[in-house]
Amino acid sequence: MARRKKIDAPEEEEMTSNISSMIDCCFLLLIYFLVATSLVSEKKLDINIPASTQASTSQKPKVDPGNIYVSSSGVVTWNKDLTVGEAYDSSLQPGTPAYLQQRRMDSLVESLKLLKEQAEAVEASPVVMLHGSGKAPHQRIVDVMAALAEADIHSVGLSTAAED
């Protein structure tokens, strides 16, 4: 009896290998990747470009198209007469209230919503044309796209005629 016990005991000790630290490591890496992928996620703005690819049809749209002009300095104008966005100031730091203020174009969103309502009243889809100067900063175009997304318009025609 005594002899048997002595043999058994060391055998059991040898059998156990400690893998808990490895599992800890695995989970740590797993969590790291989970967090890393969700933290640096970029957002998106989905836009369909119908007019730039298809030749313009001779059919007259049911509602007047809305025109957005972005000048080379970044001034955004709605239908040539209403200024909805000031010139782009690249020195503003992201996250500051002034920066956020520049990103928002509430009057443009309102105009776009109105256009959408008018178009839906005659069962048509709103037609918006974006005339961007070739020198306009990309950020200003993204601001316009964000306003379009806010007004729930996901299709915009890009004017191919460059006006510098």
Partner 1 sequence: MAKKNARSQEEVKSEMDMSPMIDCCFLLLMFFIVNAAQITVSKDPSVNMPNAVSASEMKDANGCIVVNVFADPEVMGAKSAKALEKFNKTYAAYPGTIWGVADGSQNSIGYNSSQAQQLSDFITKQREAMEAKGVKGEQIRLYLRGDADAPWSRSAGAIQAAAAAGVTNIVFGTLPAK
Nearest-10 Cα torsion for 83, 85, 86, 89: -160
Of 42, 36, 71, nearest to 164 by C-alpha is 71
Q: Exactly one of 30, 98, 114, 121 binds partner 1 (CB under 8 A); which one? A: 30
**Measured from the CB atom, is 62 or 135 closer to partner 1?**
135
Which of these ranges, 60-68, 75-83, 116-124, 156-164, lies near partner 1 under the rule CB under 8 A? 156-164
Is residue 113 a contact residue for partner 1 (CB under 8 A)? no
Burial 114-150 (b: 16+ CB within 10 A, else e): ebbeebeeeeeebbbebbbbeebbeebbebbbbbbbe
Residues at the contact surface with partner 1, assessed by CB under 8 A? 15, 19, 22-23, 26-27, 29-30, 33-34, 36-37, 40-50, 52-53, 70, 90, 94-95, 99-100, 103-104, 132-143, 145-147, 149-150, 158, 160, 162, 164
